[in-house]
């Protein structure tokens, strides 16, 4: 891993929620050290996503939103549209939905689920 990649990876936790590659580039650029081009950030984000440490969790203004992912057991992400907080949730597919698909004669080979809503703090503010 290059020094630039390491700095980019180290900046991700400080964002604390869903972010675009542009957001991450801003955070990385605000830090010390030599400048890092946005293309380098895109490549780092792609590499971290391929490695499973980041997950794509939707889009904002046409840019993919990413979030830190713990990996491990298969799970999905619940994204707060207010503050961008992301939490992992269990898989809803391996029960009734999969059975419904099988009754229709389908073998499910892959699926993507991302849930959007408001976290407790954000929904409290709006109440």
Which residues of the chain form contacts with Zn ion (CB under 5 A)?
A: 55, 69, 80, 82-83, 85, 88, 91, 93, 119, 122
Interatomic CA distance for residues 33 and 62, integer angstroms: 30
Q: Which two tokens stand for residue 8?
A: 């980019």
Q: Which two tokens stand for residue 41?
A: 């950030």
Pairing of strands 76-80, 86-89: antiparallel
- Computed on alpha carbons and rounded to an integer, the radius of gyration of the chain in Å comes to 17
Toward Zn ion, which CB reaches closer, 4 or 65? 65
Toward Zn ion, which CB reaches closer, 29 or 75? 75
Q: How far is the CB of 69 from Zn ion (least distance, A)?
A: 3
Q: How far is the CB of 2 from Zn ion (least distance, A)?
A: 25
């Amino acid at each position: 891993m290059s020094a630039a990649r390491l700095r980019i990876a180290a900046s991700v936790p400080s964002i604390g929620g869903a972010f675009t590659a542009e957001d991450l580039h801003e955070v990385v650029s605000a830090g010390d050290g030599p400048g890092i081009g946005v293309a380098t950030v895109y490549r780092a984000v792609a590499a971290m996503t391929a490695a499973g440490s980041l997950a794509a969790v939707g889009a904002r203004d046409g840019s993919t939103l990413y979030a830190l992912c713990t990996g491990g057991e298969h799970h999905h992400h619940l994204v707060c549209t207010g503050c961008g907080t992301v939490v992992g949730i269990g898989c809803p597919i391996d029960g009734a939905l999969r059975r419904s698909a099988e009754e229709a004669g389908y073998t499910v080979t892959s699926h993507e689920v991302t849930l959007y809503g408001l976290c407790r703090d954000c929904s409290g503010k709006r109440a």
